[in-house]
Amino acid sequence: MSNLVGFTKGRKSQLMNGLRGDEVHEGLEDVVVANSSICRIDGQAGQLIYRGYPIGELAAHCSFEEVAHLLWHGSLPDAVSLREIADAVGAQSALTLPMVELLRRFPHYAEPMSVLRTAISALGMYDPRAESDVQETNVELAYVLTAKASSAVATYARLRRGEDPVAPDPGLSHAGNFLYCLTGEYPDELATQVFDNCLTLHAEHGFNASTFAARVTAATLSDMYSAITSAIGALRGPLHGGANQRVMGMLEEIGSPDKAREWVMARLAARKRIMGFGHRVYRVEDPRATVLREWCQKLGDALGQGQWHDISLAVEQVLSEEKGLHPNVDFYSASVYRMLGIENDLYTCIFAMSRMVGWTAHVLEQWSHNRLIRPRCNYMGPDSLTVAPVEDR
């Protein structure tokens, strides 16, 4: 399992022999800090693999509950295990009255990721198991966090609209329950399938900033809730989460496919960033974008909202021709969420709800072979200063 060490064996050996390991990798780029069996990403080939399974295979053949079992337990479930994990997560979906009242007290203008961050932290105070160091208990907390994060987002969205919360329906899937609790209407089969796929596509992505934040916190032997609160805080930053929200604003501004080229070219001429393109890891198309592009078209055709797919495709074509850029997961997820009836400012929360499975899987892996994460820095300030009396400074 995982053993975070901060340096490769070679670098560690250099330090022990008195040599300076002072090469700086800004943003830890290309620094390998751990061994992990959860996820493999090949940015050159455009591959994303969860515990051996390509993301396209999982999206085509597995439900989110199956993928959650895979990430938490290391294997796809059989029919009995699938039912058990679906029931276990579903049983935790309802929020307690104190949690609902806490969400009710938040201002209606609060940033939803701030609400989710605070709600998760509060959940830890109400859970007497939060400080447990028992593996089985912490697996149960992973179920709790996955279930209640979804309910917290849906509940807050309704409360700020002046609507009453909707109790989860135990007969629905995790994806179906979120859409039901958000809108108060039972989703159709297509909407449920699409959103289920969205959850799968966002569930895990290696040592991204939020996952690493969770593991850093977990490595101190803090509790699961604290680790996940750290992750949400990192995801909240605009350089990590939130790009799909800004993609939707861009598509709305463009308005129609025939205006896409002019808009993009003006943006490029002004040297402004176009959201939803490029990725720190992928050098070819993000494999998640491939799946979402198809769902965007199918949803648009089914709902009579094909303009979102058409505008997106037009933007993609211009950027491919002009810059050789490829869309990432944020680009087509924006239109998909819009067509599912999800408000723009909830998009990053959807990311967090999905990634809850990956985050908790990483926390469990971190604890299975823990080492405190303690990198070094090169000090660049002065040395050997002397303190002058205060009246002489």
User: Annotated catalytic sites, by residue?
Assistant: 240, 279, 330
Is residue 53 within a helix (H) or strand (E), and if so which, with residue range? Answer: strand 53-54
Q: Is residue 103 within 8 Å of 148, Cβ to Cβ?
A: no
Helix axes 112-126, 224-235, angle to 10 degrees: 180
The residue among 246, 210, 143, 196 whose CA lies nearest residue 350 is: 196
> What one-letter code names the amino acid at 48?
L
247: exposed, middle or buried (C-beta count within 10 Å: 0-12, 13-18, 19+)?
Answer: buried
Q: What are phi and psi of 299, to 5 degrees?
A: -65, -45
Residue with tokens 């040297």: 271
The first and second tokens of residue 189, run together, are: 């089969």
Q: How far apart are CA 104 and CA 159, in angstroms?
A: 6
Residues 115, 117, 123: CA angle, nearest 5 degrees = 100
Cβ atoms < 10 Å from Cβ of 53: 16
